[in-house]
A and B are shown apart, each in its own frame.
Chain A
Amino acid sequence: MNPLDDGALHAAALAGLPGMTPVRLAKLLDGFQPVVAWQAVRAGTHPADPRRRFSRPARSTELGSIRASYEGSGVRALLPEAAAYPSMLVGDPGAPAVLFALGDPTVLEGRPRVAIVGTRSATHYGRQVASELAGDLAADGVVVVSGLARGIDGAAHAGALRAVSTNAAPPVAVVGTGLDVVYPASNGALWQEVATQGAIFSESALGTQPHPGVFPARNRIIAALSDVVVVVESHLRGGSLYTAEAAARRSIPVCAVPGSVRSRASEGTNALLVDGCTPVRDATDVLVAISLVRSGSAEGSDPGLTLDAPVDSASPSVSPSASPSSPVPPSRGAGLRTPIVNSPPTAAPASCVASRSHRARSLANVLMSGAERTVWEALDDTPTAFETILIRTDMSVASVAEVCDRLVERGLIHSGAGWWSRN
């Protein structure tokens, strides 16, 4: 139970009016106390609502039932002056006038934050990179911020939740729907877990259904909450590029995970790299990008991260001059400007975070039989059809089936939906 104060209640009531958008809400609450704004809207005298479009719905709104629904669902409505309102949003040009939160909003404070975003129709490669990256970052005490969508977002959250370490950071999600509308429904369990361990934010009132407008808007909050945005996989016009663009506008470094040049799911990220974003191979690359140094080098020990040089949105070293009209944010290599490490990212210290699985793979590679090696050689990180494996190996259906099953059992390759790829 978290009693709703009057201001929050009225702000929530305003946010729940049909046809309300973040921009309209911000105008209604600009310079007005929520209670005053609410009364003015009801009376039809609010200067930001000259056509009185919200007057009639406001008059038929029952404040008592709104209070009951918020207090019953455990969703908090945070006004910018509230103590729990994320500090990095204060002063942001696109800061939501009211932010709804489930879980503990303060997990964001005092920790480095990285947004891991990407396409919903991700490849196995993308999901796995997102999950590994999020897991390693969370284990190092970095809050992973994402959108709880299908594909990359969900994989990032799931990876972050799996992190085991003494100072593992909980994940934070920013969603487009109301906090009582789980979308996509298949992420229900994940949603629950993020809310319990970390926090879920939304600027939509309870009951807001998914519609195309809400997702780009929430992407700006994801960007604003983060120190660095990592795009794992994105199509050429993917929604995650909005997040990258919003980040570039706030001078927040944007990094991208390189993908196969033949994979359509990596077209957007590869384009970001061409535009000068920092490539990310593993968690160390991300840590370098947020100018973090690790005090301990031994894997598994408490790395004791310190926020050495917090990336400030007002940092003088970065000019917020990104053109908002460009489809691909000309981030001008925001991530390349890494204040601590002067050497280019390729010379970054050898990663001790993400190399675990690499090592396991190369070890298994040695122990392969001839047929296994042939099939392994026929595969790569991009999804390959069974028919293609047959053509590349010139083996029989039965023997390829057998070898593939064996490689899957050993965790070397992965199959799904009739596609095979290396793990």
Chain B
Amino acid sequence: MIAAIPSAVLIGVDGIHVSVEVHVSNGLPGFTVVGLPDAAVRESRDRVRAALLSSGLSWPLRRVTVNLAPSGMRKGGAGLDLPIAIGVLVASGELAPHHVDGFAFVGELGLDGSLRGVPGTVVLAEVLGRYTLVVPPECGPEARLVGGADIRTSTNLGFLVDQLSGGRPWIDEARTDAPGTDAPRTIGDTAADTAANKEKETWSCRPAGNTARSAIDLSDVRGQRLARRALEVAAAGGHHLLLVGPPGSGKTMLAARLPGLLPDLDRSTALEVTRIHSVAGQLLPPSGLVVRPPFRAPHHGVSPVAMIGGGTSWMRPGEISLAHGGVLFLDEMGEFSTVVLDALRQPLEEGHVRVSRARGSTTFPAQFVLVGAMNPCPCGEGGAPGTCRCSEAARERYARRLSAPLLDRFDIAIRVDRPEVDELVGGSPTEGSSVVAGRVAGARHRALGRGVMVNAELAGSLLDEVAPMTRAASSLIERQIRSGHLSARGLHRVHRLARTVADLDDAGSTVEEVHVHEALLLRSRRDLLLGS
């Protein structure tokens, strides 16, 4: 007898539909899985058999053949355990075919028959949207994020068989869900979209979220007014930011406060981010949807594959994709391998990365605000000119770690120095993250009106139109170019930055002279690394 159970597996951050075909026939008892399974899928034979037996179900003492269609594509992960088990039950007659009609299954099986979560449920649920999808309980919130999917959960293979055949009710989700889900949700809630929207609201004002925010607040930073302003402008305009300063000057502390200034992710970005995090097996918030911008700070020993994404059998998103929608912080940027740094250039330009391997290629989204931190020289103490004891050659070598094209991606670069003692011990209380975040949200709202997410995306040709300058401002720019302080390349950067600064100051449609002055101060320049 034959059974075909719908399921799905991950390829990169995309799910593909897989039909699990099970054939049970007379012959020598045996169990084979065909259709390019990887090691995890081949091992599922043993898990499925043990799970069936320990759930009090019978194992057919006949020849069992499982085919994973389409059979030309390599499939990985343990998520096919559950559909194989259901397929075997149907093909051997334990379960009537009409009981599983319209159902799809995703989940890993324990030897005792329990259902375990698998990464990437969001994506898989999307592919299986037209079925009623059965997933392990921990995957429920994730699976429900995508609109249209009818999701049911079950804890155990034995229960599931009873539930499918109508002998046991489906579990009420509200009681088993993680605490914090707002309203009891009925099965088959087709208004998943509105529910998720509601969830987004509750998530953003949820205590967990609040503690995460207040633990790293901008008000912890004493002094550093220039750096705070740079953070604000970076957050508002999506400008990449380079912090140059000696150790202990608070570069890391500042960078960690950038996500707190960013607004919540919009629905489509949040879904995209959730998909990536889900696929990568990252811990998701209880609601399932990642709504706060992520902050990723990989160590400088990171390999190119870990940074960009890839892998041999299973394409995994890299750090740049995990930072999608949020902040990628590279501390000690000079210590990263040049291969890793140069690999960043294309994603920084295009907002996504295409990873190609012999077995295929996949595209991961990678749109983030890059924050780099670097010592001014190898000894780290390169304070004021004339104080550093590094040799010129060593300093130049160090600065050259950041290739000119990569340095060019940074719109903002500032020096950060150790705060003065008075600022540390005394010092007036400074603005908290929420105040600054308010201004940032306002500026970002204005950018949306120009058809871009953030000002950093503004095309050079659009600038004159969306950021017209007053006469005084353009004459300042002209003087700067004439005196050689500003290059043609730097011009667009300053113009864009000035637009963001003006947006933050709520200055209306024209860019004024004072905004250009501030943009000139913040813009990145190579001499910051090379010394004067």
Contact = CB atoms under 8 A, between A and B. Distances in A.
A397 B504 CA distance: 13
Interface stretch (B16-24, B87-95, B317-325, B510-518): B510-518
B405 interface: no
Given A123-B386, A417-B527, A405 B244 contact: no
Given A121-B392, A387-B225, A397-B226, A417 B387 contact: no
A419 B415 CA distance: 9
A167 interface: no
The residue among B384, B389, B419 with the most chain A CB atoms within 10 A of its own CB is: B384
A351 interface: no
Contacts of B513: 402
A150 B420 CA distance: 32
Contacts of B387: 121, 263-265
The residue among A121, A264, A398 with the most chain B CB atoms within 10 A of its own CB is: A121
Contacts of B244: 418
Given A385-B415, A417-B531, A419-B532, A401 B386 contact: no
Given A390-B225, A419-B384, A405 B531 contact: no
B423 interface: yes
Nearest to A382: B384
Nearest to A259: B386
Contacts of B423: 391
Interface in B399-453: 414-417, 419-420, 422-423
A395 B226 CA distance: 12
A397 B514 contact: no
The residue among B223, B515, B532 with the most chain A CB atoms within 10 A of its own CB is: B532
A124 interface: yes
Interface in B493-531: 501, 505, 513-515, 517-518, 520-521, 527-528, 530-531
A91 to B, nearest CB: 36
B226 A405 contact: no
B300 interface: no
A184 interface: yes
A235 B224 CA distance: 30
B57 interface: no
Interface residues of A, number: 37
Contacts of B514: 398-399, 402
A43 to B, nearest CB: 41
Contacts of A264: 386-387
Given A405-B517, A409-B479, A386 B531 contact: no
Interface string B316-337: 0000000000000000000000
Interface in A367-423: 382-388, 390-391, 397-399, 401-402, 404-405, 408-409, 416-419
A121 B229 contact: no
B388 interface: yes
B476 interface: yes
B65 to A, nearest CB: 70
B420 A391 contact: yes
A402 B479 CA distance: 14
Interface string B477-491: 001000101000000
Contacts, number: 109
Nearest to A119: B386
A221 B425 CA distance: 54
B384 A121 contact: no
A218 interface: no
A387 B386 contact: no
A416 B520 contact: no
A387 to B, nearest CB: 5
Contacts of A408: 485
B184 interface: no
Interface string B1-45: 000000000000000000000000000000000000000000000
A386 B392 contact: no
Given A385-B415, A417-B530, A405 B476 contact: yes
Nearest to A265: B386
Given A391-B423, A399-B514, A419 B385 contact: yes
A122 interface: yes
Contacts of A235: 386, 389
A266 B229 CA distance: 34
Nearest to B501: A398
A210 B223 CA distance: 44
A266 to B, nearest CB: 8
Contacts of B393: 184
B512 to A, nearest CB: 10
Given A387-B225, A398-B517, A418-B528, A150 B392 contact: yes
A126 B386 CA distance: 9
B532 A417 contact: yes
Contacts of A250: none
A385 B528 CA distance: 12
Interface in A66-124: 119-124
Listed from nearest, the 6 A-B pairs whose CB atoms lie closest are: A265-B386, A416-B532, A418-B415, A401-B521, A402-B517, A123-B386
Interface of B: 223-227, 229, 244, 384-389, 392-393, 414-417, 419-420, 422-423, 476, 479, 483, 485, 501, 505, 513-515, 517-518, 520-521, 527-528, 530-532
8 contacts: A123-B384, A123-B385, A235-B389, A263-B384, A263-B386, A390-B225, A402-B514, A418-B414
Interface of A: 119-124, 126, 150, 184, 233, 235, 263-266, 382-388, 390-391, 397-399, 401-402, 404-405, 408-409, 416-419
